[in-house]
Each structure stands twice: as C-alpha cells, then as structure tokens.
Amino acid sequence: MSKILVTGATGNVATRLIKRLAARGVEVRAFVRAGEKGKFPAGVETFVGDLADRERVRAALEGVSKVYLLTAGTGLASLEANVIAAAAAEKVEHLVKHSVQGAQYEAALFGRWHRAGEKQIEQSELPFTFLRPASFASNALIWGGMIKAGGTVYGPFGEAALPVIDPEDIAAVAEKVLTEPGHTGKAYELTGPASLTTAEQVEIIGKVIGKPLSYVNVPDEAARKSMVEMGMPAGFADAMIDLVKVLRGMGTIPTSPSVAELLGRPAGAFEAFIRANTAAFQ
C-alpha cells in the first residue's frame, strides 16, 4: 500500500489513527501546522503546512494514494476545497472525510459546514467515504478542572442525550475503511452504544472516581461567554451554541449500529473511556 496523508494530525482522532496505520506498516504523512507538536510513531513523515496554502497542500499530496481529511473551524469548507482540488489533481485513489453526525440534514452550522465539504467531494468524482461521528467521549475531559475544583459541571445541554463515541472507535473505523476494500461511496454514522444526557455522563464520572458530582445547566449566553474566555474564537463559539440549541430540540439523538457492524465488536462505552482516563478528574 502506498502513502496515506492524514490532516488534523495532532487531534484526538488523527493521532490514534496514525498509530494504528503505522502499526500495520502503512506509510503515513502527517499534515501539521507550524508550531504544532505531535508525537508520532517512528517512520511517520511529518509535513508542515497550512490547508489555506494551496501550493503547500498540493505538495503534501504528491506521492499520496489516500487521504484522511479532518478539518475544523469556521473556514472548514474553503480549507477542504483546497485538499479536494489537490486530491483530484493528484488522482488520489480514496478520500475519507471526517464529517459529523447528521451532516446530511444540515440542521446546524456544523452540519452545514461539513455537508458543504461532502458535496464538494461528491462533485469532484473522487472515490470517497464519509465518517459522521457523534460527540466525542473525550469532550468530557474539559470538565476535569470543574470536577477537581468543586464537583459541579456547568453546561448548556439541558436534557439532550448524545450517543457519545470513544475517539478510539472512530480511529479504528477510519483504519478499516482506509486499508480494506468495500467502503467507497458510503457514509457511516458512528456513535457509542448509548445516548446519555450530560447529567448522566457526570453521574458516571462520579461513580468511577468515587466522588459525588452534579450538573448545572446554564444559559446559552453564559456558556458562550465562557467558551470565548477560554480562548475559543467567537465564530466557533456561536456555532457551538447553535449546535446545542439543535440538539436540545431533538432530545435523544439515536445510536447507530455502524461501529459494531464495521469492527465486529460493540462500540466502547462512555464508562470504559472514563475508567481509562480517571487521572483527568482526580
């Protein structure tokens, strides 16, 4: 198998995917931005660039047969357009796009941004697979400070129940679709095995660490203010609140059997993820 380019290489999913591919002996080129630090397995090639730089993106695609396209931010569609154009020019054999659960419905800003990228890929006629994961179980790690400080988690999610997924399962699926045939032209909704409210997630964390915890819902504006104060760009914070409103309106987001069907085992439970990461909360 020839080389695979992985963008977003220092993120939760891509770092896990790169380790998996390297363990299989696959040649990997990890696309990172200047200043980003990623610890990759021996043999992984690091390519420094910016997805906004078309010439640099084209250079990153030279000699690559497959791409795992993972981007983020308010300019997601334009960044993906650069990769898609370069992939088409280089006649890439397979492009796997990391999208988001429900992108096909375009109900929230995040979904519309990702669906715009999916449409560009469809129009390019590149062989593709779309992975549409639910909210990451690892998002709970940002509650670590609140839990250590006082045992109360604050958030705007209300009674929305999300089928949170372990990033390791996303990486395992990505590994499979990049290295095995039969996935071209397909879109997979990837979720964990159960839909959980934020209060239920917090309760599970408390059970695992042996500490009584509570969840307090906060107004959207207060949540947005907190996001911005923590360094999140205002436009991205707006998109987060837009997503939260959509999720609250939907109530319980359904699970999908795709992870179990693709991997031949159940999707990892939220509690198992927390047990593997207890140090973040103690």
Question: Which pair of tokens denotes residue 199?
Answer: 């209060």
* Cβ 210 vs Cβ 72: under 8 Å: no
- pLDDT tens digits for 250-278? 999 999 999 999 999 999 999 999 999 99
Question: 60 near 67, Cβ under 8 Å?
Answer: no
Q: Where in the chain is the domain with CATH 3.40.50.720?
A: 3-133+167-190
CATH architecture observed for domain 3-133+167-190:
3-Layer(aba) Sandwich (3.40)
Closest CA to 64 of 44, 93, 35: 93
pLDDT tens digit string along 101-147?
999 999 999 999 999 999 999 999 899 999 999 999 999 999 999 99
Q: Nearest-CA neighbor of 96 among 17, 41, 42, 39? A: 17
With the C-alpha atoms ordered 68, 40, 181, 63, is the resulting torsion angle positive or negative?
A: positive
- Do 146 and 207 form a contact (C-beta atoms < 8 A)? no
Domain 137-162+193-253+268-281, CATH class in plain words: alpha beta
CA distances from 57 to 21, 175, 237, 248 (A): 21, 22, 27, 38
- pLDDT tens sequence across 144-182: 999 999 999 999 999 999 999 999 999 999 999 999 999
Q: What is the pTM of this model?
A: 0.95
Q: Where in the chain is the domain with CATH 3.90.25.10?
A: 137-162+193-253+268-281
